[in-house]
Copies of this chain bind each other. A is one copy, B any other.
Amino acid sequence: MTQATIITIGDELLIGQTIDTNSAFIAKELNGIGIWVKRRLAIGDVQEEILNALTTESKACDVVIITGGLGPTGDDITKQVLAEYFNAELRVDEGALQNVKDIFSKLNRPLTERNSKQAEVPDACTVLPNKTGTAPGMWFEKQGVIYVSLPGVPHEMVGLMQDSVIPKLKEQLKLQAIVHKTLLTAGQGESTIADALADFEKNLPEHIKLAYLPAYGMVRLRLTGRGDNMQLLEQETAQQFDQLKDLVKDWMVIDKDMPLEEVVGNLLVEKSKFVATAESCTGGYIAHLITAKSGASTSFKGSVVCYANEAKENVLGVAHGTIIKYGAVSEETIIEMAKGIVYVMNADYAIATSGIMGPKGGTPEKPVGTVWIAVANKEKVVSKKYVFRFDRKRNIEQTALTSLNMLRQFILQEEKE
């Protein structure tokens, strides 16, 4: 099986300034074409460290993907080190230089010498054009190992992976067939699911593996089959996947690798219905999740982030007396918020949230993590209290996803009635 290492270069990763989202993207792309990522390594902008990593990591795998260290500033030395490693000279690539010129002319900025240097590459490489940035991708081969160097800027790296690296790897390597089948469950913990699937997992053939991927009270289950015959592998994996679906049918949200907000969005589009959200404690995060994907306007009207109580009253029409009597975090308030937002936004469905996300603001009666969620249509409201026990960030995320799942169940229940 073809194996890869991802090396990310840059002190910003080692000091914790930057969260490495690139490696996850690259790993997912490589996995998708059947290349197993064996290791991911982050190192600093240090010549010796980079040379050492290139030597060591290339022994254990067939493909080395390197990101970062290609910027115009002095601390970026990846290109120089690559030139040394491949016994190459830096030379200007005319295509890359034209690209740098085009970008600066579009931006109406003068081209400095520092920027022009971005077009220099080691002469041992094949240049991979970067459509959205000045640093070109570079493809090297040495003793049967493929090395690809990409810029660390996420959208530039993404473009290069999709446009050049993945197609070129598929073309050049004889890749083992790989099949992924993923489903999403909600409402059960990892260990309960693991107990229910113990026998299934034991009886899986050697070349099909089950993975548990928990996040925010939901668990993704993924079967990965590997083999030489794609057609046979697809059949086998599909058969096992049918068994798996049956075993978790009570908790299954969808039999695809799809985020919950998209599942809900599709359900709404299917019914030509629109949702709106009234968000106190989630502070706009649900709206952000829904609108993170292009096309949200076909199922989403909008949101009122009613952080201040007066916004709950003035914009959503929650009665002043309700908030005074029961508090902002209460069943009474959340129901009025849900009813209000349906009408204010002229929506078919509503989600409303109000809670104490922490770390401050808790009381003995309403500790940090207490949250009321309501979902509604024009006639009916369903509300529920939860107590989450995480940090602020995760409490917000958990509230958002729980409320989306409540809406999904509300819509499915409606169908039955």
Q: Across the two chains, which residue of chain B brings its CB closest to A300?
A: B307
Contacting residue for A16 out of B26, B115, B293, B308, CB 8 A: B26
Contacting residue for A285 out of B25, B284, B295, B311, CB 8 A: B284
Chain copies in the assembled complex: 2
In the assembly, what is the distance between CA of A394 and CA of B394, in Å? 22
Chain B positions within 8 Å of A194 at CB level: 72-74, 114
Q: Across the two chains, which residue of chain B brings its CB closest to A73?
A: B194
Chain B positions within 8 Å of A28 at CB level: 15-17
Cβ contact within 8 Å between A13 and B27:
yes
Cβ contact within 8 Å between B49 and A43:
no
A101 to chain B, nearest CB (A): 15
Cβ contact within 8 Å between A39 and B41:
yes
Flag whether A191 is at the interface (Cβ < 8 A).
yes
Flag whether A160 is at the interface (Cβ < 8 A).
no
Chain B positions within 8 Å of A21 at CB level: 19
Cβ contact within 8 Å between B394 and A155:
yes
Chain B positions within 8 Å of A201 at CB level: 74
A152 to chain B, nearest CB (A): 10
In the assembly, what is the distance between CA of A155 and CA of B358, in Å? 13
State the 9 A-B residue pairs at the shortest beta-carbon distance, nearest first.
A283-B291, A16-B28, A284-B284, A284-B287, A16-B27, A303-B305, A40-B42, A302-B311, A16-B24
Interface residues of A in 299-320 (CB under 8 A from B): 300-308, 310-311, 314-315
Say which size band chain A's interface belongs to. Answer: 35 or more
In the assembly, what is the distance between CA of A44 and CA of B224, in Å? 15
Flag whether A123 is at the interface (Cβ < 8 A).
no
Cβ contact within 8 Å between B345 and A311:
yes
Bitwise interface map of A from 187 to 219 toward B, beta carbon under 8 Å scored 1, else 0: 000110011000001000000000111010000
- Which of A235-243, A373-381, A385-393 forms contacts with chain B? A385-393
Flag whether A112 is at the interface (Cβ < 8 A).
yes
Cβ contact within 8 Å between B211 and A75:
yes
Interface residues of A in 259-316 (CB under 8 A from B): 274, 276-277, 279, 283-288, 290-297, 300-308, 310-311, 314-315
Cβ contact within 8 Å between B284 and A291:
yes
Flag whether A89 is at the interface (Cβ < 8 A).
no
Cβ contact within 8 Å between A301 and B294:
no
Q: Across the two chains, which residue of chain B brings its CB closest to A41?
A: B41
Interface residues of A in 43-65 (CB under 8 A from B): 43-44, 49
Flag whether A129 is at the interface (Cβ < 8 A).
no
A400 to chain B, nearest CB (A): 10
**20 A-B pairs (CB sep. < 8 Å):** A14-B38, A15-B211, A15-B224, A20-B23, A38-B43, A40-B42, A41-B42, A72-B194, A73-B190, A114-B195, A276-B311, A283-B292, A284-B291, A287-B305, A294-B392, A301-B311, A302-B311, A303-B303, A314-B344, A315-B344
Chain B positions within 8 Å of A29 at CB level: 16
Chain B positions within 8 Å of A212 at CB level: 71, 73, 75
Interface residues of A in 127-183 (CB under 8 A from B): 132, 154-155, 158
Flag whether A410 is at the interface (Cβ < 8 A).
no
A120 to chain B, nearest CB (A): 15
In the assembly, what is the distance between CA of A279 and CA of B303, in Å? 9
Contacting residue for A112 out of B15, B43, B191, B359, CB 8 A: B191
Assuming the A-B contacts A17-B220, A305-B287, A360-B295, are A71 and B23 also in contact, with contact meaning beta carbons closer than 8 angstroms in the complex? no
Chain B positions within 8 Å of A327 at CB level: none
